[in-house]
């Protein structure tokens, strides 16, 4: 089959046109239509043409597949095949061919009189003519006036990732990505230009191929028996396969994000998935395998040290009352393992001028380093693009991304009480007490000291989440410069979670001889309809207008239900419970005690958003660029009086290098940018504007919220000035931005003056007060050496941020709950005027008296900020021949972490209660009294600075193997190789987010997290 079809439809072969007429907002019909389109025959017919062929290679002389090859000014073109070769029929008149590929500098090649050409594509991260996806359209990079970072595949972090945002970590200035958990599939905290979220997630809006995501996850929350604690959230991006991502566009400042209006206050991340390109079918295969081990552990006593400690603290060292049980175990090692991983991706893509497709299948199976935890994902992605009619004015894009991810979840919770959840149980386990009896059975004794191995083996928690993200997008090109597009999408997520606790785990209440089972379901659906009209035209020779006008309607729904039950209690010597059949209790929950069953269901109040928006980019002489945007959002969530919000932005740029007076031989770009805009935040539960009454257990109603009809958007105003420099043929690029982001009208579940509804402090209101995040971010890209044989490049990005809260009326907002035995009611953070958001306020620790008791604490005072002042990303790449090395480092500096783990489970009191303690507690120069209370204080506040070797990849470009394997590459990647820090916990990156009763999330608390792993991946990629 020849892949250079110049195709056109004849008038009698236009089935698509009639079909288009039938499109209705009914989603299923639309999807069915999309699928139908996929199977339309691909038609072709040659014209008066001549043939040209050739090969495109990358910087390493390896054939580069998927390069778009076009005859400029026409739609004649193709893309390179798996080995980089191409063949094309071009009109006799054609004199040049353009070659473009994301991440490489586009180039034009003269083909006058040639039948073959050979093209070497050059890396160019800052390619100026690159087309960048911006909200609801595209723009040339040179037309950008806002702070926008584009990251292509070659800039991504390497290694094995369960969700795509981890590809970004440390790679974009102004963006902090930190893991909340070391668990595969665990959530991340992403902060674009600092933290301004008093409530809500503070996460950016994710837009996948034009479809904004809900931001929540359909994985149900943990419905455990009492006293286990709240489970960590799931990652809302888990459903995406990182291998399907082509680019991220991070919109950082308000002039770029204002087009997303009320959902854009925390920044916007546009995710573009890979698409098929015209050409012969290419089959890309990636396979990798690897393993993970524990990155770092805090030092706790081993058996020998424990015996010394018993003597030191004057506790019995022998006899029945001694805590020395004669053994030698490391409980943490017992619950951990070397986790295996395997990851396979297959993608088929191809098409012709009028129809392109890409179908990818992915499978990821990653064990957690904690036994009985892991993540599996099956994903299938189909994206198609069609053009219809003779004129090819009618287009149709259909994307369907489906996935299922299954998680096996360990008993690790974010706010465990005195039993300490799995990690705390392991750290606290007496290292002289064997975990198993001599006969091999688990050592289980009643009480609050839980055998971590038993807690692990007798606890089952599995979830699966099915996701379909489907969109159908017909478009019609009225003229070269005017295109209409409709986008109809549905994002359907369904999650189920089944949790059971074996009746032998008697340390939890109600479990003994009964056991516990819970089944939860969650359905999360987002439907969206958008119409856009794109206008792109040179109004005069020097003046170009790129504009978009649009309308969007989005509807969100979330429904949950759960059933949970205990087994039947034993009676008169007859054992009760779910029995010892070896089956999972959740498979026969009806076997439970009828009186112990708890049933709950709920659905969120209707939440719909209707928006009108527009943007215009005016470019005069490629020197002066003006951008203006406006969005009008109307939401069902807000009070009748304030349901409409307007979000404008303005920006301008001036490229000095285009000026005649500018000596431009060395500088290819010197652009100054300035912009200002307003965005909003509406992250609060729907229903808050109305009087609401709960329907409680056993037929009671209780007031939940008192209406606030004046509730309005939280407003973020952001000012940004920036400079972009490109020099030495863009081998040196530099961008710097100053930003000043002011958040006002803070949405907050205010505690109104009493009397108020007793259930929760949920009178949602706009607080007076503001949060300012200001700072400077810089990105430097270099290609130090760029020759046929050797490439060396270094990229550095850094961000310096200051954060301050001011103008809050009323009491400081309390957050940062500290958990653990003897610590209830203790908090660590305040949101208070004159301090950074979530500032640590703690009693001052003054050391120990000679008797080993804490000296009286000093008054509660500011102890530091959990918000980093400096972010650093370092990326180095080097190539010698076919070998290449990429190293990425991430650094975060200038912040504090509250080591709640040490406070709760490492303190001296544990040893008096027969538990283990931290080595640092034991090695304290003053012998601490075992009865010294482990009260919360600055004693446990630590500096959090760290520099992490995020990933290091060594790869070898094998090239072609035999006649069918093309462009093979083998690689080895190490992730999280080491971390340089003085922090004493597991990992300074981990942020155990806790929501207090006031729904205010904490920052920088480290409490019994799922430990971070060091991961090694070995893989191969090739094309067929």
Contact yes or no for 350/282 (Cβ under 8 A):
yes
Does the footprint of another protein cover residue 914 (CB under 8 A)?
A: yes
Candidates 113-121, 344-352, 876-884, 907-915; binding stretch for another protein (CB under 8 A): 907-915
Does the footprint of another protein cover residue 595 (CB under 8 A)?
A: yes
| Residue closer to another protein (CB basis): 404 or 610 | 610
Does the footprint of another protein cover residue 932 (CB under 8 A)?
A: yes
* Interatomic CA distance for residues 427 and 286, integer angstroms: 39
We find the least distance from the C-beta atom of residue 930 to another protein, in angstroms, to be 6
Does the footprint of another protein cover residue 36 (CB under 8 A)?
A: no
Q: How many residues bind another protein (CB under 8 A)?
A: 110
> Looking only at residues 805 through 844 of this chain, which bind another protein when binding is defined by CB under 8 A?
809-811, 821-827
| Residue closer to another protein (CB basis): 484 or 893 | 484
Q: Which residues, at least 6 apart from 440, have a Cβ–Cβ distance to it below 8 Å?
A: none
Contact yes or no for 718/676 (Cβ under 8 A):
yes
We find the least distance from the C-beta atom of residue 323 to another protein, in angstroms, to be 6
For residue 336, give the DSSP letter.
B
Lateral strand order in the sheet of 1005-1006: 941-943, 896-899, 1005-1006
* Interatomic CA distance for residues 548 and 475, integer angstroms: 14
Say whether the peptide bond before residue 755 is cis (omega within 30 degrees of 0): yes
Question: What is the signed CA dihedral for 255, 261, 264, 269, rounded to 10 degrees?
Answer: -70
Contact yes or no for 870/778 (Cβ under 8 A):
no
Q: For residue 922, which of 896, 944, 902, 938 has the smallest C-alpha distance?
A: 902
Does the footprint of another protein cover residue 225 (CB under 8 A)?
A: yes
Does the footprint of another protein cover residue 141 (CB under 8 A)?
A: no
Candidates 160-168, 294-302, 339-347, 477-485; binding stretch for another protein (CB under 8 A): 477-485
Out of 1, 479, 574, 859, name the contact with another protein by CB under 8 A.
Answer: 479
Out of 696, 768, 788, 923, name the contact with another protein by CB under 8 A.
Answer: 696
| Residue closer to another protein (CB basis): 333 or 390 | 390
| Residue closer to another protein (CB basis): 661 or 809 | 809
Out of 138, 664, 694, 833, name the contact with another protein by CB under 8 A.
Answer: 694
We find the least distance from the C-beta atom of residue 984 to another protein, in angstroms, to be 19
Out of 456, 473, 514, 1023, name the contact with another protein by CB under 8 A.
Answer: 514
Does the footprint of another protein cover residue 697 (CB under 8 A)?
A: yes
| Residue closer to another protein (CB basis): 397 or 407 | 397
Candidates 65-73, 172-180, 518-526, 804-812; binding stretch for another protein (CB under 8 A): 804-812
Does the footprint of another protein cover residue 28 (CB under 8 A)?
A: no
> Looking only at residues 150 through 209 of this chain, which bind another protein when binding is defined by CB under 8 A?
none
Q: For residue 349, which of 272, 246, 280 has the smallest C-alpha distance?
A: 280
> Looking only at residues 390 through 449 of this chain, which bind another protein when binding is defined by CB under 8 A?
418, 446-449
Candidates 106-114, 366-374, 476-484, 672-680; binding stretch for another protein (CB under 8 A): 476-484
* 3-state SS class at 520: strand
| Residue closer to another protein (CB basis): 297 or 555 | 555
Candidates 87-95, 183-191, 280-288, 314-322; binding stretch for another protein (CB under 8 A): 314-322
Lateral strand order in the sheet of 839-844: 813-817, 827-831, 839-844, 858-864
We find the least distance from the C-beta atom of residue 613 to another protein, in angstroms, to be 12
Does the footprint of another protein cover residue 689 (CB under 8 A)?
A: yes
Does the footprint of another protein cover residue 907 (CB under 8 A)?
A: yes
Q: Which residues, at least 6 apart from 506, have a Cβ–Cβ distance to it below 8 Å?
A: 444, 446, 512, 513
* Interatomic CA distance for residues 1014 and 187, integer angstroms: 17
* Interatomic CA distance for residues 654 and 672, integer angstroms: 5
Out of 21, 41, 541, 700, name the contact with another protein by CB under 8 A.
Answer: 700
Does the footprint of another protein cover residue 451 (CB under 8 A)?
A: no
| ∠ Cα 482 487 491 (to 5°) | 160
Does the footprint of another protein cover residue 933 (CB under 8 A)?
A: yes
Q: For residue 813, which of 844, 767, 869 has the smallest C-alpha distance?
A: 767
> Looking only at residues 624 through 653 of this chain, which bind another protein when binding is defined by CB under 8 A?
634-637, 643
Tokens of 812: 């400081």
> Looking only at residues 701 through 720 of this chain, which bind another protein when binding is defined by CB under 8 A?
701-704, 706, 708, 710
Q: For residue 281, which of 817, 921, 964, 1019 has the smallest C-alpha distance?
A: 964
Does the footprint of another protein cover residue 216 (CB under 8 A)?
A: no
Out of 47, 115, 118, 226, name the contact with another protein by CB under 8 A.
Answer: 226
Out of 344, 363, 378, 484, name the contact with another protein by CB under 8 A.
Answer: 484
For residue 414, give the DSSP letter.
S
Does the footprint of another protein cover residue 323 (CB under 8 A)?
A: yes
* Interatomic CA distance for residues 494 and 218, integer angstroms: 6
Out of 387, 921, 934, 955, name the contact with another protein by CB under 8 A.
Answer: 934
* Interatomic CA distance for residues 393 and 479, integer angstroms: 8
Contact yes or no for 67/100 (Cβ under 8 A):
yes
Does the footprint of another protein cover residue 551 (CB under 8 A)?
A: yes
Question: What is the signed CA dihedral for 47, 48, 54, 57, rounded to 10 degrees?
Answer: -50
We find the least distance from the C-beta atom of residue 201 to another protein, in angstroms, to be 21
Does the footprint of another protein cover residue 230 (CB under 8 A)?
A: no
| Residue closer to another protein (CB basis): 934 or 938 | 934
What's phi and psi for 693, nearest 5 deg? Answer: -125, 130
In the numeric block, the tokens 């089952």 are attached to: 460
Does the footprint of another protein cover residue 690 (CB under 8 A)?
A: yes
Tokens of 80: 């390179």
Q: DSSP letter string over 773-787?
A: EEEEEEEEEEEEEE-
We find the least distance from the C-beta atom of residue 431 to another protein, in angstroms, to be 16
Out of 303, 487, 783, 929, name the contact with another protein by CB under 8 A.
Answer: 929
Contact yes or no for 536/589 (Cβ under 8 A):
no
Across 158-178, b (16+ Cβ under 10 Å) vs e yields bbbbbbbbbbbbbbbbbbbbb
We find the least distance from the C-beta atom of residue 890 to another protein, in angstroms, to be 35
Does the footprint of another protein cover residue 610 (CB under 8 A)?
A: yes
We find the least distance from the C-beta atom of residue 361 to another protein, in angstroms, to be 34
* 3-state SS class at 553: strand
**Hey, which residues does 537 pair with through a beta bridge?**
545
Contact yes or no for 209/138 (Cβ under 8 A):
no
We find the least distance from the C-beta atom of residue 524 to another protein, in angstroms, to be 14
Does the footprint of another protein cover residue 320 (CB under 8 A)?
A: yes
Across 1011-1022, b (16+ Cβ under 10 Å) vs e yields bbbbbbbebbbb
Q: For the chain, give percent helix, strand, coil, nearest 5.
A: 10, 50, 40
Out of 581, 620, 662, 693, name the contact with another protein by CB under 8 A.
Answer: 693
Does the footprint of another protein cover residue 686 (CB under 8 A)?
A: yes
**Hey, which residues does 461 pair with through a beta bridge?**
499
We find the least distance from the C-beta atom of residue 775 to another protein, in angstroms, to be 31
| Residue closer to another protein (CB basis): 285 or 593 | 593
Mask for 738-757, x = binds another protein (CB under 8 A): -------------xxxxxxx
Candidates 140-148, 163-171, 720-728, 923-931; binding stretch for another protein (CB under 8 A): 923-931
| Residue closer to another protein (CB basis): 622 or 694 | 694
């Amino acid at each position: 089959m020849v892949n250079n079809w110049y195709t056109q439809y004849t008038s009698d072969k236009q089935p698509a046109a009639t079909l288009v007429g039938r499109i209705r907002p009914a989603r299923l019909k639309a999807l069915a239509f999309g699928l139908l389109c996929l199977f339309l025959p691909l038609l072709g017919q040659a014209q008066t043409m001549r043939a040209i062929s050739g090969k495109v290679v990358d910087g390493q002389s390896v054939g580069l597949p998927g390069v778009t090859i076009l005859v400029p000014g026409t739609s004649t073109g193709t893309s390179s095949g798996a080995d980089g070769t191409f063949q094309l029929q071009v009109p006799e008149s054609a004199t040049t061919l353009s070659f473009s590929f994301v991440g490489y500098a586009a180039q034009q090649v003269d083909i006058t009189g040639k039948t073959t050409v050979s093209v070497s594509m050059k890396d160019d991260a800052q390619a100026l003519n690159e087309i960048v996806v911006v909200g609801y359209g595209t723009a040339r990079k040179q037309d950008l006036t806002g702070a926008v970072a584009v990251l292509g595949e070659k800039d991504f972090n390497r290694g094995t990732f369960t969700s795509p945002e981890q590809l970004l970590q440390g790679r974009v200035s102004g963006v902090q990505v930190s893991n909340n958990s070391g668990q595969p599939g665990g959530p991340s905290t992403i902060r674009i230009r600092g933290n301004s979220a008093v409530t809500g997630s503070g996460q950016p809006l994710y837009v996948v191929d034009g479809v904004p995501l809900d931001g929540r996850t359909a994985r149900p929350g943990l419905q455990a028996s009492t006293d286990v604690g709240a489970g960590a959230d799931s990652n809302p991006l888990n459903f995406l396969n990182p291998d399907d991502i082509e680019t991220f566009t991070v919109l950082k400042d308000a002039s770029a994000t204002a087009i997303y209006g009320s959902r854009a206050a925390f920044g916007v991340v546009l995710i573009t998935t890979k698409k098929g390109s015209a050409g012969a079918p290419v089959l890309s295969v990636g396979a990798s395998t690897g393993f993970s081990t524990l990155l770092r552990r805090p030092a706790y006593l081993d058996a020998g040290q424990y015996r010394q400690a018993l003597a030191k603290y004057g506790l019995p060292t022998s006899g029945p009352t001694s805590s020395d049980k004669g053994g030698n175990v490391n409980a943490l090692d017992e619950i951990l393992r070397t986790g295996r991983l395997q990851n396979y991706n297959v993608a088929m893509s191809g098409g012709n001028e009028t129809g392109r497709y890409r179908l990818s299948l992915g499978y990821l199976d990653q064990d957690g380093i904690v036994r009985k935890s892991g993540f599996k994902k099956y994903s299938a992605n189909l994206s198609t693009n069609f053009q219809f009619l003779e004129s090819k004015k009618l287009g149709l894009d259909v994307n369907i991304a489906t996935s299922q991810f299954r998680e096996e979840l360990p008993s690790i919770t974010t706010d465990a009480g005195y039993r300490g959840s799995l990690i705390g149980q392991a750290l606290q386990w007496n290292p002289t007490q064997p975990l198993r009896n001599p006969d091999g059975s688990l050592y289980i004794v009643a009480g609050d000291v839980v055998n971590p191995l038993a807690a692990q083996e007798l606890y089952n928690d599995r979830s699966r989440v099915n996701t379909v993200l489907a969109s159908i997008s017909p478009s019609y090109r009225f003229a070269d410069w005017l295109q209409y597009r409709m986008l109809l999408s549905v994002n359907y997520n369904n999650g189920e979670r089944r949790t059971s606790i074996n009746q032998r785990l008697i340390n939890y209440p109600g479990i003994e001889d009964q056991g516990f089972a819970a089944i939860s379901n969650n359905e999360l659906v987002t439907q969206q309809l958008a119409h856009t009209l794109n206008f792109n035209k040179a109004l005069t020779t020097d003046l170009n207008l790129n504009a978009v006008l649009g309308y969007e309607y989005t509807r969100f729904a979330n429904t949950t239900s759960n059933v949970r039950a205990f087994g039947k209690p034993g009676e008169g010597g007859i054992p009760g419970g779910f029995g010892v059949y070896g089956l999972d209790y959740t498979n026969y929950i009806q076997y439970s005690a009828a009186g112990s069953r708890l049933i709950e269901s709920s659905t969120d109040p209707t939440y719909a958003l209707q928006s009108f928006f527009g943007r215009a980019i005016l470019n005069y002489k490629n020197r002066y660029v003006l951008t203006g945007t406006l969005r009008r959002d109307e939401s069902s969530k807000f009070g009748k009086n304030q349901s409409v919000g307007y979000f404008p932005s303005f920006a301008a740029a001036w490229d000095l290098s285009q000026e005649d007076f500018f000596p431009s031989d060395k500088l290819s770009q010197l652009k100054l940018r300035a912009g200002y805009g307003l965005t909003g935040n509406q992250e609060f539960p729907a229903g808050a504007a109305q009087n609401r009454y709960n329907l409680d257990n056993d037929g009671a109603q209780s007031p939940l919220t008192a209406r606030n009809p004046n509730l309005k958007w939280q407003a973020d105003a952001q000012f940004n000035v920036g400079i972009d420099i490109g020099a030495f043929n863009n081998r040196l690029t530099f961008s710097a931005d100053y930003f000043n982001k002011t958040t006002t009208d803070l949405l907050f579940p205010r505690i109104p003056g009493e009397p108020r509804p007793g259930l929760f402090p949920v009178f949602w209101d706009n607080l007076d007060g503001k949060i300012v995040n200001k700072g400077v971010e810089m990105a430097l890209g270099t290609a130090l050496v760029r020759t046929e044989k050797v490439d060396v490049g270094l990229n550095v990005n850094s961000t310096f941020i200051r954060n301050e809260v001011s103008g809050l009326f009323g009491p400081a907002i309390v957050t940062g709950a500290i958990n653990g035995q003897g610590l209830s009611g203790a908090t660590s953070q305040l949101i208070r005027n004159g301090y950074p958001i979530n500032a640590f306020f703690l009693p001052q620790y003054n050391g120990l008296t000679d008797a080993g008791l804490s000296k009286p604490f000093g008054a509660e005072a500011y102890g530091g900020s959990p918000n980093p002042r400096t972010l650093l990303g370092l990326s180095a790449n080097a190539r010698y021949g076919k070998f290449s090395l990429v190293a990425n480092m991430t650094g975060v500096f200038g912040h504090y972490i509250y080591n709640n783990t040490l406070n709760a489970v490492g303190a001296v009191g544990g040893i008096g209660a027969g538990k283990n303690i931290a080595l640092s507690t034991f090695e304290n120069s003053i012998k601490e009294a075992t009865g010294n209370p482990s009260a919360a204080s600055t004693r446990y506040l630590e500096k959090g600075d760290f520099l992490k070797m995020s990933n290091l990849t060594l790869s070898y470009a094998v090239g072609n193997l035999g006649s069918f394997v093309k462009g093979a590459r083998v690689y080895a990647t190490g992730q999280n190789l080491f971390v340089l820090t003085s922090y004493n916990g597991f990992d300074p990156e981990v942020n155990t987010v806790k929501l207090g009763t006031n729904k205010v999330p904490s920052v920088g608390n480290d409490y019994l997290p799922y430990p971070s792993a060091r991961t090694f991946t070995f893989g191969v990629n090739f094309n067929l």
